[in-house]
Amino acid sequence: MRIILLGPPGSGKGTQSTYISKCFNITHLSTGDILRSEVNSSTDLGIIAKKYMDKGDLIPDDLMIKAIKNQIVHLSSGFLLDGFPRTLAQAKSLDLLLEQIKNPLDKVICLNVSKEEILNRLSFRAICNDCSHNYNLATTPPRVKNICDMCGGKILIRSDDNPEAIINRLRIYDNLTLPVIDYYESTTKCFSVKAFGKPEDVFKTIENLLRL
């Protein structure tokens, strides 16, 4: 199965991806996670990417396409793309690649959340460095400050979860990623899902769509 998960920052793409990849046994490719790991290892790509990511800007299309292409061609049994494509140029180059390897997309799922909810989620978001569990410091803080309830790991705030970068990420989403949704919406493979309420309930809806 080849799936794309689209949605604004804070719509729960990471959380839903974890459920989907476990349930359907497919590889989860998160461009955000791939780039953050490149940044942590100070690779050439990571050093360049950090400058863009900290401000909430997208890294240039050519770099991103090159980084993800290598991974996709090796996943003949399927994948779940989370955070890619984010621009029309990325979507078109993905189409071309999938056509070349004769592996068309099965479904595109778009998560929908209100701006107010996104701002609340991102402004108070903190993430465990070890198990990636998400906390909202205003509504669901950890029992012990900075320590993960699940695994005892250290809880961190992403460097792009600050007010300026959040506003920039939302603006970029509207300007560059909404056209990608329009692009897929003209196909029969695209499904829109309301992404508020309990994560498990959102997943139930996604699971039903993927089993159609």
Catalytic (active-site) positions = 13, 86, 125, 158, 169
Per rule CB under 5 A, is residue 156 in the interface with Zn ion?
no
Q: Are 23 and 127 in contact (CB under 8 A)?
A: no
Q: Are 116 and 11 in contact (CB under 8 A)?
A: no
Q: Build a one-symbol-per-residue string for 100-139: x at contacts with Zn ion by CB under 5 A, - elsewhere.
A: ----------------------------x-xx-x------
**Could you please report the per-residue DSSP string of 42-67?**
T-HHHHHHHHHHHHTPPPPHHHHHHH
Q: Which of 79, 84, 135, 184 binds ligand ADP (CB under 6 A)?
A: 84
Structure tokens at 212: 């159609």
Per rule CB under 5 A, is residue 23 in the interface with Zn ion?
no
The tally of CA atoms less than 13 A away on the side-chain side of residue 149 is: 10
- Given ligand ADP, Zn ion, none, residue 107, with its beta carbon under 5 to 8 Å by kind, binds none
Per rule CB under 6 A, is residue 9 in the interface with ligand ADP?
yes
| 126: exposed, middle or buried (Cβ count in 10 Å: 0-12, 13-18, 19+) | buried
- Residue with smaller CB distance to ligand ADP, 26 or 58: 58
- Residue with smaller CB distance to ligand ADP, 84 or 184: 84
Q: Are 34 and 59 in contact (CB under 8 A)?
A: no
Q: Which of 5, 6, 45, 58 binds ligand ADP (CB under 6 A)?
A: 58
Q: Residues in the site for ligand ADP, rule: CB under 6 A?
A: 9-10, 31-32, 35, 52-53, 56-59, 64, 83-84, 86, 90, 160, 169
